[in-house]
Structure 1
Amino acid sequence: MKNIILFVALIAVTSWSTAQDIYGEATYFSKASIDKSFLEGNRDISPEQRKRIEENLKKASEKTFILKFNRSESLWTEEVALATPGQSGGWGNFMGSSMGGDKYKDMTSNTFTEQRDMMGKTFLIKDDLPQLDWQITGETRQIGNYTAIKATAVKKNDALDMSAFRRRRDDNKKKEEDGETKLTDMIEKDENTTVTAWFTPQIPVQHGPAEYGGLPGLILELNANNTTMLCTKIVLNPEDRSDIEPATKGEEIKLEAYNATFQQKMEEMSQRFRGRSRGRN
């Protein structure tokens, strides 16, 4: 452990001169493993429907992000592909804009700003960054041209972190009085997750993908729950630089309050849907 700490310190010192005036753009490929067990043995789904569902799940689980950063600030944005003509965003578009947006992080104040849209209303989430107790291990590996060091931490899962949910394996599901199965009886959520990060002191900034950071070097790979985010390209100090600024439009709100509002709206939508279903029956 002493050797790895000395290694980190030496690289950080030799790289510090460039960190005083550093700007970079890192591309990350994010992939989530999705439980497809609900497709197995389902006679109501034709082979064509199953293929189409699997293709849509694959598209939803694979995304590309760009992290623009300087010494103290970063901006995390998703590269969104153009939709096929005549194809609406629908439910997936609603969930994406409600549960994630461009995330600005200020490592000096340990705060973040994120703009999200929910049912036609724009919110501006301003809150503190999660503080993780990173444990730097002695394990190293090569990621591209950089030496990466492994670090782990335990994180409390966000109330709306979909990667923390999974389908229940037991068949004994509780029923509502009207005989319907609750969504909460079909899925379960882990309260905490172990996060594994690989960072490089060769780029001495405390940034990383999504809400993660706080290590003595840029995070090149991160694994949390069922999602892996891997840096596939880094451009340092290009001539053309983008501004790294937070969004400013929207009703300011804390993350916990936003999550509570979202869950309330989802419950209202669920009740209206059940009401219409009963009416048709």
Structure 2
Amino acid sequence: MKLKLLNILALILITTGLRAQNIVGEVEYRYRIFYDKIYSSMPHLTQQEKDRILLTWNNPEGYSTRMKLQFWPEKSLYTFGAPYEVQSYSYQVEDYFIENNLNDQTYLKYMDQMGKTFIVTDSLNAPKWRVMNEIRDILGHMCMKAVTEDKIRGQKITAWFASDIPVPTGPEEQFGLPGLILAYDVNDGMLIVEAEKITFGEPEEIISLPKKMKGREVSGAKYQELIQEFIQTSTDSKRAWMWEIRY
């Protein structure tokens, strides 16, 4: 096992040396959510109800949205990408933007959640990742596996990061690994986010925030507190919280 891990690390280091210049670019991700799996996992449902949901809501491809991440050594910007020609569903929140400042370790999130628009600013606090001895090729980049847990949302997260793209950021709210996160999975396939295209070099059009941001300004700690309260209230009322909080 130790020899296998050393071989994997050696391969990663070689690849990193060959592609260390890959520090500026843009990634298009496919965000796929499987509402049948998520909703059927609700604890208050009977087994008969869960089976019916899996049967009637089943969609092997999930419901897709294209997302876009732009990255530099000092920051990353993330928002919606160009829509697919055939939309799996019509609903999409109006505002969803994340900026990670990697120099001063702060972030800004501007997003519609829980029926409101929030402006969240705070210090970056990376999840407690465990790097595993598994590798996977994504768009020609050798990626290592890492796992963590979101205890507030009850999510097991598996990420794949490319150390040959040495920027510690990624899609959605995932970051903090020694390389760009090119894919991640939540709760064994309830949500799958995967890179579809990577373009290195300065992006042609830089993602920009709306000129006038209107919303409730809160700290990261307060925002997490609001999320936790909403999930608990929804659970107590036997309602599915994921309709109003991005999964």
Q: TM-score, normalised by structure 2?
A: 0.67
State the distance in 1 between where 2:48 and 2:150 align. Answer: 35
How far has the Cα of 1:120 moved from its partner?
8.6
Q: Deviations over 1:25-84 (max 9, x none)?
A: 11111112223658x978xx9xxxxx9x849x89983221111111221111123749xx
Count of aligned pairs between the two proteins: 217
Query: Whose radius of gyration is greater, 1 or 2?
Result: 1
1:131 to 118, 126, 135: 126
Alignment-derived partner of residue 227 in structure 1: 191
How far has the Cα of 1:237 moved from its partner?
0.9
Residue correspondence of structure 1 range 159-238 to structure 2 within 5 A: 161=153, 190=154, 193-225=155-187, 226-237=190-201
Alignment-derived partner of residue 32 in structure 1: 33
Change in Cα spacing, 1:59 to 1:125, as seen in structure 2 (3 Å) is farther
1:143 to 111, 133, 138: 138
CA-atom RMSD, angstroms? 4.1
State the distance in 1 between where 2:73 and 2:204 align. Answer: 17
Q: Which amino acid in structure 1 is aligned with residue 217 of structure 2?
A: E
2:63 to 35, 56, 61: 61
1:157 to 139, 151, 154: 151
Q: Deviations over 1:142-196 (max 9, x none)?
A: 22222222222x22334xx5xxxxxxxxxxxxxxxxxxxxxxxxxxxx3xx3321
How far has the Cα of 1:254 moved from its partner?
1.3
Unaligned runs of 5+ in 1: 46-50, 83-88, 162-189, 272-281
Structure with the higher helix share, 1 or 2: 1
Q: Percent identity?
A: 24
State the distance in 1 between where 2:109 and 2:176 align. Answer: 18
Q: Deviations over 1:93-117 (max 9, x none)?
A: 5xx45xx721111223332211134
Alignment-derived partner of residue 103 in structure 1: 98
